[in-house]
Chains A and B, each alone.
Chain A
Amino acid sequence: MSEIKRINLPLTDEVVRSLKAGDNVLLSGELYTGRDAAHKRLIEAIDANQALPLPIEHQTIYYVGPAPAKPGEVIGSAGPTTSYRMDDLTLPLLERGLKGMIGKGERAEKVIEGMKKYGAVYFAAIGGAGALIASTIIKKEVIAYEDLGAEAIHRLVVKDFPAIVVIDSEGNNLYRTEREKYKGE
């Protein structure tokens, strides 16, 4: 495992370029949540030439639908959901300056090509570590599509959110390289 890099959000172009597949990072700052239903609405808004309810440029979207918060807690368990379901709805966001995505699992080739073209990075958080991840989220507010409940877009403030760079802005993909190393063992 590589040394841990502390990264501030939103991501600058320089930071995006410096992140390489395999880097272990702790993310701090603000990010936005969005999964299936929210992505669908964002793309509908783009198609209808409407303004987006969040500032996309330099931002990071976390694919998550948190559990309800218990009284006194900021948020309920909040691990990543599987990213490929957002693949058909990602390019228009990259075109508009989205720099980071956090989820789990493979991405489509067209998303990876888009990440190379526009300069973006894909992080994986540990799927199923929802309680641990929730403990790094210090603030949560709904900013759009409140009717979607857990699927609404939230602005989160995180401190030392643990993630791994899985696909970098050059298209290097840790899922592919690492799996080959351990095949047949």
Chain B
Amino acid sequence: MRTIDVGDVIEIVAEMVKEINYHLPEDVYHRLEAMGPLESSLTGKHILRELLKNADLASQKEVPICQDTGMVVAFVEVGQEVKLEGGLLTDAINAGVRKGYEEGFLRKSVVGNPLERVNTKDNTPAIIYYDLVEGDQIKIELGAKGFGSENMSRSKMLKPSDGRAGVIDFVKETVSLAGPNPCPPIVVGVGIGGTLDKAAQIAKKALLRPIGQHHSEASVILLEEELLEGINKLGIGPQGLGGNTTALWVNVEMYPTHIAGLPVVVNINCHASRHAKRVI
């Protein structure tokens, strides 16, 4: 057994939320840089350049890339040989969010009761998913999820006979309906299979996988590539003002499902795709 003090988790999470909000992750930055010259709309090219300028300024001044500094979503893998000390892990993650958002001058966007809508004033609670795994480490992968793009996400319980083509149609339809609203160029996370909730969870997890890093299975890579190409033919372009850079990347995750079903969830992220991973 290895002992980990949850106090370490607080500090690490606080650092992570500040870092991802100030510094656009390298994978996203490089992808924006690479896609600029390929954009055929002049307005589109201009917008892509402005986004890089914005990222540079935010990084240099250590201010948020975007004022919607998001709701924190964390995927946490806990090794079965870890012994936690000093309190509950969930409390520590939320304490890290609280500390990071306060210290970092990040916007607190979380409301408690969703119908009464009173701000919790510290951006907690985070959405946390746990997995028990082998080993004696804790891996924390988290994102700061903006809601302009979250609001444009959709789910559908397809029929098994709808198959791959049905999935492609639904993803493209979702991006098309979203149009300019989720701040394109977007990153698209697609969850296929499982149950309604599992598909949503893996779609979210897909958004945390870095741009440029495909799925491990060849057939899924082909689907990711076909989706990206199809989405970039929709004409939406940067900020929805026309062009061929509608999506920066598409990540697909799959899970076994029931003989009667084919759940699909499309989770959209804006170009400020803020994500990071740490191992303790």
B213 adjacent to chain A (CB < 8 Å): no
On chain B, the number of residues with a Cβ less than 8 Å from chain A's Cβ atoms is 49
Q: A131 to B51, Cβ gap below 8 A?
A: no
A106 contact from B67, B181, B272, Cβ within 8 A: B181
Q: A182 to B50, Cβ gap below 8 A?
A: no
CA distance A124 to B67 in the complex (A): 16
A127 contact from B63, B121, B148, Cβ within 8 A: B148
Closest-by-CB residue of A relative to B244 is A185
Please name all residues of chain A whose beta carbon is closer than 8 Å to the beta carbon of B58 when the two chains form the complex.
77, 130-131
Binds A, one of B91-99, B234-242, B257-265: B234-242
Please name all residues of chain A whose beta carbon is closer than 8 Å to the beta carbon of B69 when the two chains form the complex.
67
CA distance A164 to B58 in the complex (A): 22
Binds B, one of A9-17, A48-56, A78-86, A108-116: A78-86
Please name all residues of chain A whose beta carbon is closer than 8 Å to the beta carbon of B271 when the two chains form the complex.
128
B192 adjacent to chain A (CB < 8 Å): no
A-B contact count (CB 8 A): 160
Please name all residues of chain B whose beta carbon is closer than 8 Å to the beta carbon of A37 when the two chains form the complex.
117
Q: B180 to A131, Cβ gap below 8 A?
A: no
CA distance A140 to B38 in the complex (A): 39
Q: B54 to A129, Cβ gap below 8 A?
A: yes
Binds B, one of A89-97, A153-161, A173-181: A173-181
Q: B66 to A130, Cβ gap below 8 A?
A: yes
B207 adjacent to chain A (CB < 8 Å): no
Chain B CB within 10 A, most for which of A77, A84, A104, A166: A77
CA distance A37 to B181 in the complex (A): 19
CA distance A88 to B191 in the complex (A): 32
CA distance A129 to B239 in the complex (A): 11
Residues of B within 8 A of A (CB): 40-43, 46-47, 50-51, 53-54, 57-58, 61-69, 105-109, 117, 119, 121, 148, 151, 179-181, 183, 233-237, 239-244, 270-272
Q: Name 28 interchain pairs, CB-CB below 8 A, sorted by A.
A: A65-B67, A65-B107, A65-B109, A66-B67, A67-B63, A69-B105, A70-B61, A70-B62, A70-B63, A76-B105, A77-B64, A81-B68, A82-B181, A105-B180, A106-B179, A126-B50, A129-B66, A130-B54, A131-B63, A175-B180, A175-B240, A178-B235, A178-B243, A179-B235, A182-B235, A182-B242, A182-B244, A183-B234
Residues of A within 8 A of B (CB): 1, 37, 64-70, 73, 76-79, 81-82, 84, 104-106, 124, 126-132, 134-135, 149-150, 162, 164, 166, 174-175, 177-185
Q: A130-B64, A181-B235 are in contact. List 10 more A-B contacts (CB 8 A).
A: A65-B107, A67-B64, A68-B107, A70-B61, A76-B105, A84-B181, A104-B183, A105-B179, A105-B180, A150-B107
